[in-house]
Amino acid sequence: MSSVSSSAYPDTKEPAAERTPRPEWPLWEIFIRGQHGLNHRHVGSLHASDAQMAISNARDVYTRRNEGVSIWAVRSADIVASAPSEKGPLFDPADSKVYRHPTFFDIPEEVGHM
Amino acid sequence: MAERPSTDEALFEYLLRLGDNCLILGHRTSEWCGKGPALEEDIALANTALDLIGQTQLWLSLAGEIEGKGRTADDLAYKRDAMDFRNVLLVEQPNGDFGQTLVRQFLFDAWHLPTLQALGDSSDSRLAEIAEKAIKEVTYHLERSTDLVIRLGDGTGESHARLQRAVDALWPLTDELREADDIERTLAGDGMAADPDALAQAWDTHVSNVLSRATLSRPEDGHGRYKGSGKRGRHSEHLGYILAEMQFLPRTYPDASW
Amino acid sequence: MYAQMVKTDGTGIKSSEQMTPEERAFQERIDADSRIEPKEWMPAGYRKTLIRQISQHAHSEIVGQLPESNWVTRAPTLERKAILLAKVQDEAGHGLYLYCAAETLGISRDEMFEQLHSGRAKYSSIFNYPTLSWADIGTVGWLVDGAAIMNQVPLQRTSYGPYARAMVRICKEESFHQRQGFHIMMQMAKGTEAQRRMAQDALDRFWYPALMMFGPSDADSVHSAQSMAWKIKIDTNDGLRQKFVDQTVPQAEYLGLTVPDDKLAWNADKFGEGKGGYDFSEPDWDEFFAVISGDGPCNAERLGARVKAWEEGAWYREGLMANAAKQADRQPAQAAA
C-alpha cells in the first residue's frame, strides 16, 4: 500500500514573500492530449520562466510534429507522488506512466530550484 | 481567370515579394541554429525558420508557374542576383543580438498575418490555398513574438534597453511594409491581394498596442523614405552577402544535382 | 557513441557477499529487467554514473548541432535546407530530453551546462572535427548518426526509466537522420566527378573518427563491466565497433566509395563456428586521447560557440524570469508560490 508523500524538499521551499528573479528557469512537466486522444499523457519536461511560457515552449518542443492539441504544464516541484512501499526496492510501479518526481536525495543549495 | 499580361506580371512580382520575404527571413533565422539563448528558444527559432522555408517553396513555385518560363522555386532562390530579389529591407537585416532578431520578427509578423488573412479571401484560388496553409503557422509566429516582446520589454532594465534599441533601429524600415505601391494597389483592386490601407491600419493597431504593453516607446515615423526599396530590388548591402553564402554551391557546380 | 569512457567511481563489480541487502535487492531488480524510477533507492555509484553518462550524451547532442548548422545557410536546395534544419532542431530536442532525464537524478540543467562550459564534462570526440564540404553533411548523417543509432537502440532497454523513455523518443525521431545522410551520399557518389570526389574525401576524413566514437577497447575496463551489470551500458565498445564496420562497409561499396583502410577484408570465420566479420585497422588512439583532451581540430570553436551562446543569452533568460516575477506580483491572492 502506498502513502502520499509531501514535497521532496520541505526545507528548500521559498518563503512566499521572497520573489526575486532566480537565474534558472524552473522545471515543468508537460502533458499532451492529441487530436483524437482521450487523456493527457506525460511526454516529458522542459524549462520555462512561468506557466504560459511552459505551454508556449511545449508547443515547440513536444508538438512540432503535430503530436498534440491540448497541453498541460505543471511545475515539477508541485507534483505530489506516491512513495515506494515500506518494503523498499521491491516496489514496482503498476502504471508505466509514473510521474518523474524529484528524488529524495539531498540537493546542494547552489544547484538552485528543482 | 482572364489572361491579362499586366496582371500576370504584377502577380509574378507580388509572389516574388511574398516568397522572398519568407526565404530571406527564414534564412536569417536559421543562422541561430545551435546558438540560441536557451534550448527551448533554439527549437522555437528552428520551427519558425522551417515554417518560412516551407512557405517560400509554395510562393516561389507559384511565381515560377505564373512567369511561365519553367523556373522552379530552387531556380528562383538560388540563381537570381540581388537586384532581382523582392524582399523588404527589414528581413535582410543582420540578426544582431536576440533582441534585434525578435523585434525584426515581430514587426514582420504583424504585417505577415493580416496579409495572409486577406489573401485567404483572394479571388485567385491558388493564392488563397497557399495563404490558408500559412495562416496557422504565422498566427503562431505572431503570438510568440508578441508575447516575447511584451515579456522582455517589461523584464529587466537590460532586456528593456536591448528591445528599445532594436525598435529604434528597425522602425524606419517598417515604412516599406506599410506603404503600398502600384503593384499592390492593382492586385488589391482585382480582389487578389490585401487592401493596403486596411493592412497598414491592422499593423499599426497591433504594434502600438504591443509596444505599450511592453513599456517600449514608439519611434517617430517618416525616417524610412530614403533607405531604398527591397520590393523594387534596391536592397541594403546585406543581401549580397546573404546570397553569396546561400547560393554558393549551385553556382559553383552548375551541372550538379543535390 | 555519444557517451565515451564514462567512469563509475568503483573498482569493480561487487560480489553478492560484498553487497549490502539493499544493493543485492537492487541488483536483482536490474537482473530481472525491472525499471528503476527516480524516487527509488539506488547505489550512489549508479546515480553518479548515470548523471555522467546522460549528461555527456546530452552535451554531445547540443554540441553536435554545430558541425551541421555550419552548412544550413549553404544547403544547395530549399528541400535540403529544410531537412538539415529539421535534423539540427531534433538534436536540440534530444539534448533537452536527456538533460531533463538527468535532472530527475538530482542535478540541475544549469549545473550541467557549467560542467560542459568549464571543460569538466566531455562530449563525443567526433564533434571536434570540421565539416568542410556538403559531402561532410551526408557523411555525418551516414556514419555519425549510424554509429549513434547502434548505441541508442539497445539503450531503449536501459535500467533507468527516465533515460529509457528519453531514448525511445529519440530513436523514433532519429530514424530519418541516417537516411537523409545516406541519401545525400547516394546523390553525390553517383553525381558529377566533382561531387564524387567530394564524397570520397569526406569518407577519407570521417572514417576513423567515426570508429573512435565507440571508445577504445573496454575488454579490461572495470567501469564498463560495472555499467553493463547495471544495464546503463548494453554492449561492449569493441562489439559495437565490429557491428558498425560490418554494417557500413557494404554501404560504402554500394556507393562505389573506398573505405580508407587497406587492411579491410572480410574474414569468414573471424569469431569461430562460421561467424564472420570484417578485419579492419584500429583508429589511432593517440589521436582520440588528444582530441578529447582539447587538441582536436575544432575543440575551441565548438566549446567557444556554446559558451558564447550561453553568456550572450543571459539577459534573455533573466529578462523572462524578471517578467514572470512581475506578473506574479500583479496577481492578487493567486500569487505563484
What pLDDT is attached to residue C71? 98
Contact C327, B213 (CB under 8 A): no
pLDDT digits (tens, 9 = 90+) for A19-33: 343 468 999 999 999
For residues B211 and C174, the model is more confident at B211
Give A61's contacts in chain B (Cβ within 8 Å): 40, 43
Cell numbers describing residue B78? 538560388
Between CA A37 and CA B192 the distance in angstroms is 39
The answer for A 1-60 residues in CB contact with C (under 8 A) is 14, 16, 19-25, 27, 44-47, 49-51, 53
Distances (CA, A) of C188 to C71, C108, C132, C194: 16, 44, 15, 9
For residues C125 and C224, the model is more confident at C125
Domains in chain B: ranges and CATH = 5-252 (1.20.1260.10)
What pLDDT is attached to residue A87? 47
B19 alpha carbon, distance to own chain's centre: 8
Question: What is the pLDDT confidence band of residue A66, given thresholds at 50, 70 and 90?
Answer: low
Q: Do A88 and C41 touch (CB under 8 A)?
A: yes
ipTM: 0.95
Domains in chain A: ranges and CATH = 27-105 (3.10.20.520)
pLDDT digits (tens, 9 = 90+) for B184-243: 999 999 888 889 999 999 999 999 999 999 999 999 999 999 999 999 999 999 999 999
Between CA C217 and CA C214 the distance in angstroms is 9
Q: Is B69 helix (H, G, I), strand (E, B) or coil?
A: coil
What pLDDT is attached to residue A34? 86
Q: Which helix (H) or strand (E) holds A51?
A: helix A51-62
Give C82's contacts in chain B (Cβ within 8 Å): 50, 53-54
pLDDT digits (tens, 9 = 90+) for B1-17: 444 447 889 999 999 99
| Amino acid occupying residue B3 | E
Q: Find, among B137, B246, B118, the residue nearest to B193 by Cα.
A: B118
Cell numbers 518523474 correspond to A100
- Positive/negative CA dihedral, C214, C232, C95, C305: negative
B133 alpha carbon, distance to own chain's centre: 16
Between CA C256 and CA C267 the distance in angstroms is 21
Give C162's contacts in chain A (Cβ within 8 Å): 100
pLDDT digits (tens, 9 = 90+) for B25-68: 999 999 999 999 999 999 999 999 999 999 999 999 999 999 99
**B25, B32, B35: best to mutate for the C interface, most C CBs within 10 A:** B35
Contacts from C217-220 at CB under 8 Å and sequence distance 24+? Answer: none
Cell numbers 569469431 correspond to C271
What pLDDT is attached to residue C14? 84
Q: Which helix (H) or strand (E) holds C277?
A: strand C277-279
